[in-house]
Structure 1
Amino acid sequence: MASTHRLRGQHILVTGATDGIGALTADALARAGSIVYPHGRNAEKVERTVASLRAHGGAAIAPRGFVADLASLEETARLAREVPQLDVLINNAGIGTGGSRGVRETSRDGHELRFAVNYLAPFLLTRNLIAQGRAPKVVINVSSIGQEEIDFDDPMLERGYSGSSAYCRSKLAQILFTFDLAETHPTIKTHALHPGTYLDTNMVRGANIRPLGPARDGADATLFVLNHALENGPSGQYFNQQHLARPLDQAYDRTARKQLRSLSERLTAPYLLRAPAP
């Protein structure tokens, strides 16, 4: 595991912290002395996670957890209002391909569900924290090596839908957002990472895929990338676990990043707070 001394005393929100990689990440951070705020969409699971962090975190105390369904822009915006000043935001929560069902699903706001949860929610949460004058020092986006180019003529995959494409496009969108945020807000250190391939999580097992590695590998990768950010190195990088890597070319296309930013601002407009350009 990466060095943990930089993590002591950091106030960190981990989304999707009640299960899988998120739960292991939150636990490792608490053990390292971070003040961890776990997020989940189930209040009972969030309460259990808070209790676990308090038991295992030593001197670090999780003051409270936060409940929000990231399939709702309204609840995501509320989460941004409720969380305290953060040092670090880890956008970890996400949903998988949906397995073999192949059924197109939509969020509460009518957006393609994987795009909404995996990408639009982190976009709105991060941007609203910035607009409220409470930008974290570091933003880590847990993405994937599974990537597919975004078709801006059909961003919601209303034609030729597949759960795999929806997932892969949402994950590339996270990386485009990471690179765009690094460029537009240089005071925030931001990185994206692939935590590991088919790790032993409910998401993987729910897709009827045999896990290829322990979920702990994903938590270790997340902490590695967070430590890298806290070392004050370059911002706007993508990691394949604990190694610098190159995502699909579209991530480097400034025109595509601007298109995605404009689309995201339009889709989240009822809840997106505006702030002066940095």
Structure 2
Amino acid sequence: MPAGVAAASAPIPNINIMLRRFISATGARYKARPPKQRKVMENSRIALITGATSGLGQAVACALAEQGMHVLLHGRDRERTANAADQIQASGGSVQTYLADLSSLRETRDLAEQVSAEHPVIHLLINNAGIGPGRPPYRKRILSADGYELRFAVNYLAPVLLARKLVPALNTGAPARIVNVASAGQAPIDFADLRMDHHYTGTRAYYRSKFALVAFTFDFAAQLSDTAITVNCLHPASLMNTRMVRQAWIPPVSSVSTGVKAVMNLAVEPVGAAVTGATSMAVAKPRRIARRTTLPSNRGCVR
């Protein structure tokens, strides 16, 4: 058992079973804002990127559009999502918008279903949306509508649910890629306390969610090893000048453009098609904790 992981007094929950329950859950269908788009260019490749209304996500969305891809741009706020789409359209790019609150498993599921219905062929999924540590002293613990710690819900459960639901569309578009935006900052998960009822800090919650996302990346890549879908993750850059970093009152030390280059390397360059089940931490010194995400015991627990 990795250091820092409390011994569970109860059986470890199987997150794969939990996700199946989420996927089968009933609820009113999410209705997105009417698509803001140009006609999809014939033979254009299609990319869905989450959290694309500011910072790294918005910059990557613009870069994908410049590459000639039809961008499915996800956001949570209607006005900010429209503004991000306007910027791409003004530069001649092809874009379509989707609204969803990824802290809600129902809205995440409905987002995947709507995207699949409108685009049965997808070539790229970038799970970029995330919630950072928050403001000092990082003690404000918030639960999602489904009862999960908010960062775990947005940074881990939502990407897992989207990736699993979009496999058919990605398989149709193969060779296809899934890129998970992770972090070098990671901490082992106490599976007996997924809601973090004890010893909570926003920083620890953020680190645990990224640990889970990296472990899922390795495990999902193995599950899809007989397909032409690659699954990789990366630490794009350290403390980029984004709202997430500024909200934490941490001085930025790197630029968003540095992060864009790292993401695009896995998203569109040949290396992203040649490897799967890999993590790129080239910008930051790899930590010992990151290696623990490759352990079968940890990978199995986050299914």
Q: Does 1:122 align with 2:159?
A: yes
Q: CA deviation at 1:107?
A: 0.8
2:273 to 202, 220, 232: 232
CA separation in 2, counterparts of 1:229 and 1:150?
33
Change (3 A) 1:180 1:244: farther
Any idea what the Cα deviations from partners look like across 1:154-189, whole Å, max 9, x if unmatched?
222111111111000101111011001110012220
Alignment correspondent of 2:197: 158
Q: CA deviation at 1:87?
A: 0.4
- The alignment status of 1:250 with 2:287, answered yes or no, reads no
Tell me what 2:130 maps to: 94
Q: Does 1:111 align with 2:143?
A: no
Tell me whether 1:76 sits opposite 2:117 in the alignment: no
Counterpart of 1:61 (choices 85, 94, 118) is 94
User: Aligned partners of 2:107, 2:270: CA distance in 1, in Å?
Assistant: 28
The residue identity in structure 1 corresponding to 2:260 is A
Structure 1 residue 86: Cα displacement: 1.3
How far is 1:231 from its partner? Answer: 5.4
What residue number does 2:250 align with? 209
Pairing of 1:135-214 with structure 2 (within 5 A) = 135=170, 137-186=176-225, 187=227, 188-214=229-255
Calculate the TM-score normalised by the size of structure 2: 0.78
Tell me the amino acid that sits aligned with residue 130 of structure 2.
G
Deviations 1:90-116 (A, max 9, x none): 000001001214111111111000000
SS of structure 1 residue aligned to 2:148: coil
Matched, 1:25 2:60: yes
Judged with a 3 Å threshold, the aligned counterparts in structure 2 of structure 1 residues 88 and 230 are, in CA distance, closer, same or farther, namely farther
RMSD: 1.9
Instruction: Name the amino acid aligned to 1:213.
Output: S
Structure 1: runs of 5+ lacking an equivalent? 1-7, 262-278
Question: Aligned partner of 1:44: which letter?
Answer: E
Counterpart secondary structure, 1:27: helix
SS at match of 2:163: helix
Aligned partners of 1:231 and 1:213: how far apart in 2? 23
User: How far apart, CA to CA, are the structure 1 residues paired with 2:271 and 2:214?
Assistant: 19
| Whole-Å separation in 2 of the counterparts to 1:55 and 1:259 | 45
Percent identity over the alignment is 39
User: Which 5+ residue runs of structure 2 have no aligned equivalent?
Assistant: 1-42
The one-letter code sitting in structure 2 at the alignment partner of 1:157 is M
Contact 2:266/2:272 (<8 A) preserved = no
Worse-superposed segment, 200-209 or 47-56: 47-56
The answer to whether the 8 Å contact 1:191/1:235 transfers is yes
Three-state SS of the structure 1 residue aligned to 2:274 is: coil
**Aligned-pair distance for 1:245?**
5.3
* Deviation for aligned residue 1:54: 1.3
The Cα offsets for residues 210-253 of structure 1, whole Å up to 9 and x where unpaired, read as: 11111121111100122346653121100025689576232111
Moved more, 234-243 or 80-89: 234-243
| Contact 1:239/1:245, CA 8 A, preserved across alignment | no
Whose Rg is larger?
2
> SS state of the match for residue 141, structure 1?
strand
Find the residue that maps to 1:69 and give its secondary structure: coil
Aligned length: 249
Deviations 1:57-88 (A, max 9, x none): x3x411x2000000100000010011123100
Cα deviation per residue 1:25-47 (whole Å; 9 max; x = unaligned)? 00111112111111000111111
CA-CA distance at 1:23 after TM superposition: 0.4
C-alpha contact (below 8 Å) 1:14/1:38 kept by paired residues: yes
